[in-house]
Amino acid sequence: MNLPPEPAPALIHSLLQQMLAEDLGSAGDVTTDAIAEPGATALARVLFRRAGRVAGLGAALETFRLLDPATRVERLVPEGEDVPAATTVAVLRGPARAILSGERAALNLLGLLSGVATATGSFVRAVAGSKARIAATRKTTPGLRVLEKYAVGVGGGLSHRFGLYDGILIKDNHIALAGGVGPAVARVRDRTGRTARIQVEVDTLDQLAEVVELGVHAVLLDNMDVATLRRAVALIDGRMLTEASGGVTLETAPAIAATGVDLISVGWITHSAPWHDATLEVVA
C-alpha cells in the first residue's frame, strides 16, 4: 500500500499549539509543575492497548517537541503498520514537564487518527476483490480535516473531494435551487466551461436517466438499495464514474461493492470511528 506523505510539521504546528493551549490554559500544567522540578527528566513509552493501525504518530510526537525541543523521540513502528495489542510504538526521553504536559494532546491525536485509519482499513478489507475503492467524505471534525483525511489514506482509502473548492458536486439542494438537474448542470457549465468535471447526486433512477443524457463525468448514487444500485450501474454502462453513498456499514459494503460501483463513500470512518486506545507510561 502506498501511504500518503505525512503532514509537514509547519502545516500542523498551529493546530498542535491550539490543542496544547486548550489543555494548558494561562496557568499551565499546575500538577506537573508542582511535582516535577524544572530540570527533571523522564523516560516514557507510548503504547497501543489494543490491536490497530498506526496513524498520526509523527504529528503526536511533534507535540512534545513543541513544548520543549530538548525532548527526544524514537519511533519504533512506521506509519500504516498494523500492530498487536500491547505494542510500544514510540519512546520519549527528555524534560519530564514536557512529556507529562503534552501527554493528553498527543494521545488524543494519535487515538483519533489511528482509529480513523483502523476503521478505514476494515472497510477496505470488506470490499477486497472488487473494483470499489473506499472514499472519505467532508464529514470531518471541524479543524481536523487535513489530519483525518490523511488518516483515511493511511487506512487505504481515498481522500476524494477535500473541500468545496476542489470539485464540482451538484447535490439535491443545488438541484432544488436551480429548478432541476438540467438547469443546475447548465449553470455550472456556463460558469466553468464544458470541460469542467461535474458530479451530480441522484437518488432515483429517473434522475439518473436524465444525468446520463447530460454527459457529466460522475454520479453520486445516494441512499439506493443494492438492487437499485445494480440497475443504476447497468444503466450507466461505464459512461461515467459511479459513487455509492448513504448509510454504508461494514456489513453492507461487500454487497454494495459487488454491484460494480467505482467508489463507496463512507462518512462513518471520520465522524464515528472508535478512537484507538493509546497510552503513555513513564518508566524511569
The structure's pTM equals 0.94
Which residue do the cell numbers 516514557 mark?
44
Examine the residue annotation and report whether 149 is marked as an active-site residue of this protein: no
* Interatomic CA distance for residues 136 and 14, integer angstroms: 24
6-15 pLDDT, tens per residue? Answer: 988 788 999 9
From 93, 145, 171, 189, active-site residue: 171
Q: Which residues lie closer than 8 Å to 54 by C-beta, 6 or more apart?
A: 48, 77, 78, 79, 80, 81, 82, 83, 89, 114, 117, 154
**What is the per-residue pLDDT across 122-134, written as a single tens digit (0 to 9) for each?**
999 999 999 999 9
Q: What is the DSSP letter of 87?
A: E
pLDDT of residue 8: 84
Half-sphere exposure of 162 (CA within 13 A, CB side): 11
**Taking the chain, what is the end-to-end CA distance rounded to the nearest angstrom?**
37
**Grid coordinates in use for 7?**
503532514
Query: pLDDT tens digits, residue range 152-174?
Result: 999 999 988 899 998 899 999 99
171 flagged as catalytic: yes
Cβ count near 109 (within 10 Å): 26
CATH 3.90.1170.20 positions along the chain are 9-122+273-282
One of 29, 79, 201, 262 is an active-site residue; which one? 201
Mean predicted confidence (pLDDT) in 259-268? 98
Active site (annotated) includes residue 197: no
Amino acid found at 40? A
Is 79 designated active site? no
Type of residue found at 212: V
Q: Alpha-carbon distance 55 to 153, whole Å?
A: 10
Q: For residue 109, what is its C-alpha cell?
A: 491525536
Distance, in Å, from the CA atom of 261 to the CA atom of 242, rounded to the nearest integer, reads 5
Question: Of 1-15, 46-60, 63-77, which range is least confident?
Answer: 1-15
Q: At what angle do helices 57-67 and 9-24 cross, to 10 degrees?
A: 60
Read off the C-alpha cell for 56.
498520526
Q: Quick one: CATH architecture of 129-271?
A: Alpha-Beta Barrel (3.20)
User: Rounded CA gap, 169 and 174, in Å?
Assistant: 9
101, three cell numbers: 504536559
Q: Could you say which of 45, 125, 138, 139 is catalytic? A: 139
| Mean pLDDT, residues 204-220 | 95
- Distance between CA 200 and CA 78 in Å, rounded? 39
Q: Which of 79, 148, 222, 243 is catalytic?
A: 222
Contacts 24+ apart (CB under 8 A), 173-179: 175/200, 175/201
Q: Which of 50, 75, 93, 104 is catalytic?
A: 104
CB 200 within 8 A of CB 172: no
Q: Which CATH superfamily is domain 9-122+273-282 in?
A: Quinolinate phosphoribosyl transferase, N-terminal domain (3.90.1170.20)
Label the pairing between strands 278-282 and 41-48: antiparallel
Task: Write the pLDDT tens digit of every residue in 252-262.
Answer: 999 999 999 99
Q: What is the pLDDT of residue 9?
A: 79
For residue 137, pLDDT over 80 is answered with: yes
